[in-house]
Structure 1
Amino acid sequence: MNQETAEAVEHRAELPGSTPNFTVLLSPTRRGARLARLLATEQLRAWGLPLDAARHIVAELAANAATHGRVAGRNFRLTLYVVGETLRIEVTDTRGDRLPLVQRLDTEGESGRGLVLVEALADRWGVSPGRPPCKTVWAEITVPPSR
């Protein structure tokens, strides 16, 4: 992988009874956000999970991390894991001082729809503070029980 785009990929082995999980560090760029979506799509496909809603949520959260959570020299982290019937998507960036805000839709605007989409597609979503200077924006989707 390109050094500037993906610093490290960590994929833990899925042992019987373990929690399926995937974590990757990516550069806070448009290219890093695109790679987050592509890697998440492949991981979800490997787990046999529905792709559409999760792929869109990852794309929006990663784009926000690359746009609003960008700090030179600091990556953002994408984490996916499944517990029971819940897929949790987490994107952690190093701008804990900039919390996401769902904006009123402007039909003429060219941006500002990302969190509206996340809100519509996810069963739940929110923000968790991390160790300074980080924050994690997360979303959860209920997935079919048989994978």
Structure 2
Amino acid sequence: MVGLLVVGPASDLIGNKVPIALTFLIRIILFVWVLRMQTPAVFYTFALAFGFTHLMTAPLTPTLVGKLYGFSHIGVIAGLVTTVHHLSGGFWTYVGGLSFDLTGSYQPAFIISAIMALVALVCCLWIREERHHH
């Protein structure tokens, strides 16, 4: 929840794109760190830091959608984005468990998570955040 308190005011000052991109950058760093340094202390620190980023994009996504596409259909568009996000997160929990069952390790799940965060970061950097004029 602390992350929410940081990105809200930050997005008011600098827009939504940069805080969203920084969220994914932090996650990439965390995934690589936990893959390289596998100790209990690192794992607990990872969990705490990842929790800091957990909901950071939640308030930013609908406002970014509104800026990009206008606010007349924000409920439908943001609802679709949120639904896909949560369905994917639920599916990813299954993939992490399957990864462990098949390999005896969560390492493949963390590697793919880092790659997906990198893809999200690159996609985020392509966003041209401009106000919708309608």
Q: TM-score, normalised by structure 1?
A: 0.31
Between structures 1 and 2, the one with greater strand share: 1
Between structures 1 and 2, the one with greater helix share: 2
Q: TM-score, normalised by structure 2?
A: 0.33
Structure with greater contact order relative to length (CA < 8 Å, sep ≥ 6) = 2
